[in-house]
Homo-oligomer: A and B are copies of this chain.
């Protein structure tokens, strides 16, 4: 059994996007085993258990991931994760991966796949709401699929937006107001917000939005009116209704699951698409266990592991 202590830093992001596209294709064909995430509440956060099996890719496993918003007090990340990969023939544990950084990468890769298929343009102005790890990962992942001509970043803490830009000096990147960040072709929202940040009137025709931040009941980043006038695609309908961007509007009766246009899998499969250049499209990302398996597959090709005794 192998332990990968810090995988992800050297991952080929273009290849990861491609593997993520593959798993969404399988998801669109409805040939993956992926029960809903199981949430357990702890005193200061929660942890989620995410098992899955993808027969065509011969990979099975479980990600275990926590969300503890106060972890900065302990100098620990809010989100930490382990993925356990099992041999599909024997059920034996093959590998354990530190999946903390991989979780950012695989989330960003799904957003990149969504932007590739749903953005109205190939050369884009990228807007970012939030300047955390997920926003940074989104820049790198999307840059493998589309040509980013400029980046406008809003963060509650302007300094964080400036730091993000300084990390991406290859791009024309600046810290702006939230409204200005929304004046773009592809918008990524990646905050832990529980009240909408992005207003309906800030979003112009033809924008594609990756709504990344909402991944638990009670979280939302977009004015629900945006959802009503957009074609909304989700990663997984059950999960999105439970914990995605649409969860709060649904619970308030402002949105209905019947209004969802389809899944990213159906988009990748070619069954669903943006209808014209003026539509607003939204990808509501909650994060799927099959993405974690794709990410594990990408890093298990590396030799950055130690051997552990088992059984």
Give residues 45-66 of A contacting B (CB, 8 Å).
Answer: 45-47, 49, 51-53, 55, 60, 62, 64, 66
Give residues 153-188 of A contacting B (CB, 8 Å).
Answer: none
Minimum Cβ distance to chain B for residue A258 (Å): 28
User: Would you call the interface of chain A mostly helix, strand, loop, or mixed?
Assistant: strand
Q: Contact at A49–B60, with CB atoms within 8 Å?
A: no
For the complex, is A96 an interface residue (Cβ under 8 Å from B)? yes
Q: Contact at A62–B62, with CB atoms within 8 Å?
A: yes
For the complex, is A196 an interface residue (Cβ under 8 Å from B)? no
Q: Contact at B41–A51, with CB atoms within 8 Å?
A: no
Kindly state the separation between the CA atoms of A219 and B67 in the bound complex, as whole angstroms: 38
Report the copy number of this chain in the oligomer.
2
Contact of A60 among B40, B67, B309 (CB under 8 A): B40
Measured between beta carbons, the chain B residues less than 8 angstroms from A92 are 66, 76, 80
Q: Contact at A89–B64, with CB atoms within 8 Å?
A: no
Contact of A311 among B45, B80, B93 (CB under 8 A): B80
Q: Contact at A49–B47, with CB atoms within 8 Å?
A: no
Q: Contact at A309–B6, with CB atoms within 8 Å?
A: yes
Q: Contact at A93–B76, with CB atoms within 8 Å?
A: no
Give residues 74-105 of A contacting B (CB, 8 Å).
Answer: 74, 76-77, 80, 82, 84, 86, 88-93, 96, 98, 100
A77 (CB) vs chain B CBs: closest residue: B311
- Indicate with 1 or 0, residue by residue over A4-44, a CB within 8 angstroms of chain B CB atoms: 01100000000000000000000000000101001011111
For the complex, is A144 an interface residue (Cβ under 8 Å from B)? no
Q: Contact at B42–A53, with CB atoms within 8 Å?
A: yes
With A3-B308, A38-B35, A309-B5 as given contacts, are A66 and B82 in contact (CB-CB < 8 Å)? no
Measured between beta carbons, the chain B residues less than 8 angstroms from A44 are 89-90
A76 (CB) vs chain B CBs: closest residue: B90
Residues of A within 8 A of B (CB): 3, 5-6, 33, 35, 38, 40-47, 49, 51-53, 55, 60, 62, 64, 66-68, 71, 74, 76-77, 80, 82, 84, 86, 88-93, 96, 98, 100, 306, 308-311
9 tightest CB-CB pairs across the interface, nearest first? A66-B91, A5-B309, A49-B51, A68-B91, A100-B311, A35-B38, A33-B40, A40-B53, A82-B93
